[in-house]
Structure 1
Amino acid sequence: MKKPTARIRDEIARLQEQLRQAETREAERIGRIALRAGLGEIAVEEADLLTAFEDIAARFRQEPKLAHGRSPSTTPPNGAGEASGQSAEA
């Protein structure tokens, strides 16, 4: 059974609102981190800042490097680690 177009439009509108809210949360999170790092106190061109953020994003998209002596299957017993903000490089 096919959905009526009005129902599909309602679903699209609902999903667009969810996307907008998720993007707002992400932007606020990144903004708070940037302020804690002191970026709010630096006079920098937006293009330069965008380039720096792109470099950071590329760095974190790479495969994580393992600390010396750790095997890929090693995880902390409590499930902590990268999910709790600790990286394998620490």
Structure 2
Amino acid sequence: MKKPSSKIREEIAKLQEQLKHAETREAERIGRIALRAGLGEIEIDETDLQAAFEELAKRFRGGKRFTSGRKAAAEGSAGSRQSETVASGAGSSSPSEA
């Protein structure tokens, strides 16, 4: 039995609302982590920051799994290399902002 279009529209509206809430939760989580990492204190262009985030996302999607920055830093210099890579990638693309 096929669903009437009104039911499908209701389901779409509910799913859109769920998506909105999920995106808000994700944004708040990432925002809290970014603030703890000190990104709120850095003056950086949004496009440069987005490019750095995209690079970071690509690194994590590439199959390399890292736990947390704290644990990686505790395990040795790998954590500090990760921080240097992100920091240098974000700052190097905009030399005029010094």
**TM-score normalised per structure 1:** 0.71
Aligned to 1:24: 24
For 1:27 and 1:51, the matched residues in 2 are separated by 17
Unaligned runs of 5+ in 2: 76-98
The structure where helix makes up a greater share of residues is: 2
Aligned to 2:10: 10
Amino acid at match of 2:5: T
For 1:31 and 1:16, the matched residues in 2 are separated by 22
Give the % identical residues. 64
Unaligned runs of 5+ in 1: 66-81
Task: Report the CA distance between 1:63 and its aligned residue.
Answer: 1.4
Runs of 4+, deviation exceeding 4 Å: none
Task: Report the CA distance between 1:64 and its aligned residue.
Answer: 2.4
For 2:71 and 2:9, the matched residues in 1 are separated by 42
The Cα RMSD (Å) is 1.9
1:86 to 1:16, Cα distance in 2 relative to 1, 3 A: farther
Aligned to 1:51: 51
Q: Partner of 1:63: helix, strand, or coil?
A: coil
Higher relative contact order (CA 8 A, sep 6+): 2
